[in-house]
C-alpha cells in the first residue's frame, strides 16, 4: 500500500501512572490497532519516581507498565505484531526494560526492546548553574542540589528505534505526544521539514495521551457519556497528511463527540498558536473537528512552524517534608467547627515548636471538604452538616511533622462536638519534592537508542524557530442587541476542561453554538476571570481564540499555590477550575436565553 493511502491505527492505553488496568487488554483484544502507546509521566509523577529512586536505585520507572499492563497483553501483542511505545521508563528507562525483558523471558517470549536514552541531564547541573540558567517560570537560580533533571525529548528517537526493528520502545521523559508521533514518523517517513504533518501528528498524540479524556472522560455533559465502567479507550486512525479520526473499540462505553475531543485538544496547551514541542511549534487555531459518524470524529488543520533550539527540562529538588491529616466534623455549624479545629491544630503545634526551639512551618493550610472553600466568595451559603477538615503542612524537619501528626487525634476528645473520622492511624511525613523547569540547548543533550545491547546515536535537528507567539486573534465583535438581559450560568453557553502546567492553570472553553462565541468573548474578559478567581489566582490572566473550534483558552499564572506536589490545595492541578468557571453568571440577551430554554 502506498504511504499516501495508508492508515495507521494507534490505541492510547494509559493517561497517567495509575490508570485503569482495563485499557491495554481492551485495545489489544479489539483487533483494531497497529500500535499500543502508554503515557505515564507528568511533573508530579516525575517527583514521585525521583523519591522512589532515592529509596531503591533500581526503581524510578512506572512499575504498572510491566507488572500489570504488559503482563496482561504481551503474548497477544506479540502474536498480532502490535508495536508498543511507552514513556514508562521515567527516570530509569533501562531498569524498566530489564524488568520487562525478565517478564517476557518468564513467558517464553523474546521481544526486541529498545530504550531511548539522553533525557537525564542531571550531570550537567553544575555547568548550567555556572551559566546562570534560571527557572523559566519563577526566574530563580537553580538549586545547589537536585534529585533529578530530565529533558523533554521529541519523537525522532522513537522513530529511529522502530526503524531499527524494535517491538517495544521504552523512553524516559519525553513530551507526552512523542510516543504517538514517533510511530507516525516511522510509518509515513516524515522528516523534520514536514512541519504541518508533524503538527497534526503531535495533535493526534495529544488527543490520546490522556486515555479516556478523549472518549467522554471529564466531559462537561457527563450525563451523556454511557457505561462508565466499560468506557472505551481512544483509537486514532491517522493518514499520511496528518489528519486523523478518533474512535474507540466496538461495543465499549464512553462518547466520541466533537465537544469531548475539542475539550481534550484545549487541555493544558497554553497559547494554541504557539504550542512548543521539541519537533515542531504547533498552531492549533485553524484545527477543525467534524462529527462524521456516531462513534467517529475527524480532526485536521493543524499548522506547524520550526521548533526552537531548546528542550524544556523537568527537574526536582528536596524541599523539606510534608504531611496532611484529616478529621470529620458532623452537626450544627460543622464548617465553623472544622475551621476552628484546623486553626487550633496549627496554633498548638506552632507553640510546641517554639518551646522546643524548632522553626515554624514552611507552609500551613486548612481546607474544608463539603463547605465549598475552593469557591471562596462564590461559595453557596447553605450550611453543610458534614465537613472534612484537611490540614496540610510542610516543614524543613521531619521531627516537627511527627509532632504535628501526633497532635491531630487529640482534637477528637478536646474540642468540637461531632468530631470523628475513619480510623487510619497517624499520618506520616514524607519528603516534599518540589518541581522546577528550565531550558537547555538541544545541541548540549546527546540522545541515543539502545537495542540488542548496541547504542545508536540519534541526530537531532538543532531547531531554528522563535518562541515568540504569533499575533493574537479575536472573534468578530459582539453586537449588543437592544433587548432585556437575562443572567444564566456559563455552562449553558459553553463546554469546558481545565488542567495545569506547574503553577499555571489552563481552562479551555468551547461555544455550544458558533454564533455564541463573540458573546462569550465579550463577557469573559481577562479582568472578569481574574476577579472571579481573585481568591486563587495571583498572576496575569490571558485568553486566546481558536476560530476553527469557536473556542477560547484561558491561561492563569500563579494560580495553583505552586502546583503539583508543591501545592497545599485540595485541587493542586486545577482540575476543578473549569467546573468552577462554568458556574459564573453571564448576562445574555433575552432572545439567547429563550434559545437556552
Domain end position, chosen among 274, 307, 340: 307
**Residues 404 and 335 grouped into a single domain:** yes
**Residues 157 and 269 grouped into a single domain:** yes
10 Å Cβ neighbour count for 363? 17
Positions of the chain with pLDDT lower than 50, given as ranges: none
Give every strand in the sheet of 494-501, ordered side by side: 494-501, 504-511, 551-556, 541-546
- Whose CA is closest to 155, among 465, 447, 452, 501? 447
**Residues 159 and 51 grouped into a single domain:** yes
Range of 493's domain? 485-596
In a domain, 576, yes or no: yes
Which runs of E-coded beta strand occur in 284-403?
A: 288-293, 296-300, 303-305, 310-330, 363-369, 386-395
In a domain, 56, yes or no: yes
Amino acid 423: pLDDT: 67
In a domain, 538, yes or no: yes
In a domain, 312, yes or no: no
**Residues 333 and 302 grouped into a single domain:** no
In a domain, 281, yes or no: yes
Distance between CA 135 and CA 309 in Å, rounded? Answer: 17
In a domain, 463, yes or no: no
**Size of the chain, expressed as the number of residues it contains:** 597
Amino acid 3: pLDDT: 67
Amino acid 2: pLDDT: 58
In a domain, 124, yes or no: no
**Residues 76 and 173 grouped into a single domain:** yes
**Residues 329 and 302 grouped into a single domain:** no
Amino acid 335: pLDDT: 93
Pairing of strands 504-511, 485-489: unpaired
3 state SS of 25: helix
- Whose CA is closest to 100, among 148, 53, 166, 151? 166
**Residues 352 and 415 grouped into a single domain:** yes
| Verdict on whether the full-model pTM lies above 0.85 | yes
Burial (0-12, 13-18, 19+ Cβ within 10 Å), 11: buried
Distance between CA 30 and CA 24 in Å, rounded? Answer: 10
Residue whose entry in the numeric block shows the C-alpha cell 510546641: 352
- Whose CA is closest to 24, among 40, 11, 34? 11
**Residues 87 and 213 grouped into a single domain:** yes
**Residues 110 and 219 grouped into a single domain:** yes
Q: pLDDT tens for residues 232-266? A: 999 999 999 999 999 999 999 999 999 999 999 99
Amino acid 523: pLDDT: 98
Contacts of 254 (CB under 8 A, 6+ apart): 212, 215, 216, 217, 225, 226, 227, 231, 232, 248
Overall domain count for the chain: 3
Distance between CA 97 and CA 114 in Å, rounded? Answer: 8
**Residues 170 and 211 grouped into a single domain:** yes
* Residue pair 302/199 in contact by the 8 Å Cβ criterion: yes
Which residue pairs from 236-239 have beta carbons closer than 8 angstroms and sit at least 24 positions apart in sequence? Answer: 236/9, 236/10, 236/12, 236/180, 236/204, 236/207, 236/208, 237/7, 237/8, 237/9, 238/7, 238/8, 238/9, 238/10, 238/184, 238/201, 238/204, 239/6, 239/7
**Residues 494 and 359 grouped into a single domain:** no
Domain end position, chosen among 275, 307, 339: 307
**Residues 186 and 229 grouped into a single domain:** yes
In a domain, 479, yes or no: no
Domain end position, chosen among 307, 341, 368: 307
* Residue pair 179/225 in contact by the 8 Å Cβ criterion: no
10 Å Cβ neighbour count for 80? 14
> Domain holding 380: CATH number?
3.30.70
Amino acid at each position: 500500500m502506498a504511504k499516501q493511502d495508508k492508515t495507521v491505527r494507534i490505541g492510547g492505553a494509559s493517561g497517567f501512572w495509575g490508570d485503569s488496568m482495563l485499557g491495554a487488554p481492551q485495545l489489544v483484544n479489539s483487533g483494531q490497532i497497529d500500535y499500543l502507546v502508554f503515557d505515564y509521566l507528568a511533573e508530579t509523577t516525575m517527583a514521585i519516581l525521583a523519591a522512589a529512586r532515592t529509596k531503591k536505585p533500581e526503581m524510578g520507572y512506572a512499575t504498572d507498565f510491566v507488572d500489570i499492563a504488559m503482563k496482561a497483553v504481551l503474548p497477544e501483542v506479540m502474536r498480532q505484531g502490535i508495536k508498543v511505545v511507552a514513556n514508562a521508563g521515567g527516570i530509569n528507562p533501562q531498569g524498566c526494560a530489564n524488568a520487562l525483558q525478565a517478564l517476557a523471558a518468564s513467558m517464553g517470549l523474546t521481544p526486541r526492546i529498545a530504550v531511548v536514552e539522553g533525557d537525564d541531564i542531571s550531570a550537567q547541573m553544575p555547568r548550567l548553574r555556572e551559566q546562570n540558567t534560571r527557572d523559566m517560570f519563577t526566574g530563580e537560580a537553580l538549586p545547589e542540589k537536585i534529585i533529578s533533571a530530565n529533558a523533554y525529548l521529541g519523537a525522532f528517537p522513537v522513530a529511529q528505534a522502530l526503524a531499527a526493528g524494535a517491538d517495544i520502545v521504552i523512553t524516559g521523559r519525553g513530551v507526552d505526544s512523542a510516543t504517538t508521533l514517533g510511530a507516525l514518523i516511522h510509518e509515513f517517513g516524515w522528516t523534520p521539514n514536514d512541519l504541518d504533518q508533524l503538527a497534526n501528528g503531535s495533535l493526534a498524540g495529544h488527543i490520546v495521551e490522556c486515555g479516556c479524556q478523549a472518549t467522554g472522560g471529564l466531559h462537561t455533559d457527563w450525563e451523556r457519556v454511557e457505561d462508565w465502567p466499560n468506557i472505551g479507550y481512544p483509537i486514532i486512525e491517522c493518514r499520511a497528511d496528518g489528519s486523523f479520526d478518533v474512535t474507540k473499540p466496538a461495543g465499549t462505553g464512553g462518547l466520541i463527540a466533537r465537544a469531548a475531543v475539542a475539550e481534550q485538544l484545549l487541555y493544558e496547551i497554553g497559547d494554541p498558536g504557539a504550542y512548543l514541542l521539541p519537533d515542531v511549534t504547533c498552531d492549533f487555531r485553524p484545527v477543525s473537528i467534524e462529527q462524521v459518524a456516531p462513534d467517529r470524529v475527524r480532526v485536521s488543520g493543524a499548522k506547524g512552524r520550526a521548533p526552537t533550539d531548546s528542550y524544556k527540562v523537568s527537574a526536582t529538588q528536596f524541599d523539606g517534608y510534608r504531611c496532611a491529616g484529616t478529621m470529620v466534623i458532623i452537626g450544627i455549624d460543622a464548617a465553623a467547627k472544622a475551621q476552628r479545629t484546623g486553626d487550633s491544630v496549627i496554633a498548638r503545634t506552632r507553640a510546641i515548636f517554639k518551646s522546643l526551639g524548632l522553626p515554624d512551618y514552611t507552609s500551613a493550610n486548612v481546607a474544608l471538604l463539603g463547605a465549598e472553600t475552593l469557591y471562596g466568595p462564590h461559595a453557596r451559603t447553605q450550611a453543610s452538616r458534614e465537613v472534612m477538615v484537611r490540614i496540610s503542612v510542610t516543614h524543613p524537619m521531619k521531627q516537627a511533622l511527627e509532632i504535628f501528626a501526633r497532635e491531630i487525634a487529640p482534637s477528637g476528645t478536646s474540642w468540637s462536638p461531632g468530631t470523628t473520622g475513619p480510623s487510619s492511624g497517624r499520618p506520616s511525613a514524607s519528603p516534599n519534592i518540589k518541581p522546577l523547569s528550565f531550558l537547555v540547548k538541544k545541541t548540549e543533550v546527546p540522545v541515543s537508542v539502545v537495542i540488542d545491547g548496541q547504542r545508536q546515536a540519534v541526530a537531532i535537528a538543532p531547531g531554528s524557530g522563535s518562541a515568540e507567539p504569533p499575533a493574537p486573534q479575536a472573534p468578530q465583535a459582539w453586537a449588543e442587541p437592544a433587548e432585556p438581559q437575562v443572567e444564566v450560568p456559563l455552562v449553558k453557553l459553553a463546554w469546558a476542561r481545565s488542567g495545569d502546567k506547574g503553577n499555571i492553570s489552563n481552562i479551555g472553553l468551547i461555544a455550544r453554538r458558533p454564533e455564541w462565541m463573540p458573546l462569550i468573548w465579550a463577557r469573559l474578559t481577562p479582568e472578569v476571570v481574574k476577579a472571579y478567581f481573585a481568591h486563587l489566582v495571583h498572576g496575569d490572566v490571558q485568553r486566546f481564540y481558536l476560530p476553527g473550534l469557536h473556542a477560547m483558552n484561558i491561561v492563569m499564572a500563579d494560580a495553583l499555590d505552586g502546583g503539583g506536589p508543591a501545592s497545599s490545595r485540595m485541587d493542586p492541578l486545577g482540575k476543578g477550575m473549569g467546573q468552577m468557571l462554568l458556574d459564573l453568571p453571564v448576562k445574555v440577551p433575552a432572545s439567547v436565553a429563550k434559545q437556552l430554554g
